[in-house]
Amino acid sequence: MTVQTTQRRGGGYLERPKPSGLADVIEIILDKGIVIDVYVRVSLVGIELLTIDARIVIASVDTYLRFAEATNRLDLIEHGGGKPLDEFIGNMQESGASGKTKGAVEGVKRAITGGDDDDDDEERRRPARKSSSSRRRSESR
Partner 1 sequence: MIAEADRAPTADAAEADLVPGEGRGVLVYGVVDASSKVPAGLTGLDDAPVTSVRHGRVAAVVGEITLDRPPGRRAELVAYSTVLDTLAEAGAVAPVQFGSVLLDEQAVVEDLLAPNEDEFAELLVQLEGRTQFNLRATYLEEVVLTELVQTDPEIRELRELTRGLPEDAAYGERVRLGELVARALEERSGADADVLLDAITPLVAGCNVRPGGGADHVLDAALLVDDDRRDEVVDRLEGLAEAVHERMRLRLVGPVAPYDFVGGS
Positions in 69-108 near partner 1 (CB under 8 A): 69-72, 74, 76-77, 79, 81-83, 85, 88, 92, 95-96, 100-101, 103-105, 107-108
58 binds partner 1 (CB under 8 A): yes
Q: Decide: helix, strand or coil at residue 33.
A: coil
Half-sphere exposure of 46 (CA within 13 A, CB side): 5
Q: How far is the CB of 79 from partner 1 (least distance, A)?
A: 6
Task: Please give the Cα distance from 1 to 95 (Å, whole number).
Answer: 7
Close Cβ partners of 60 (under 8 Å, ≥ 6 residues apart): none
For partner 1, the closer CB: 127 or 137 = 137
Contact (CB, 8 A) for 1 and 95 = yes
Q: How far is the CB of 109 from partner 1 (least distance, A)?
A: 10
Task: Please give the Cα distance from 135 to 73 (Å, whole number).
Answer: 11
For partner 1, the closer CB: 72 or 127 = 72
Q: How far is the CB of 93 from partner 1 (least distance, A)?
A: 10
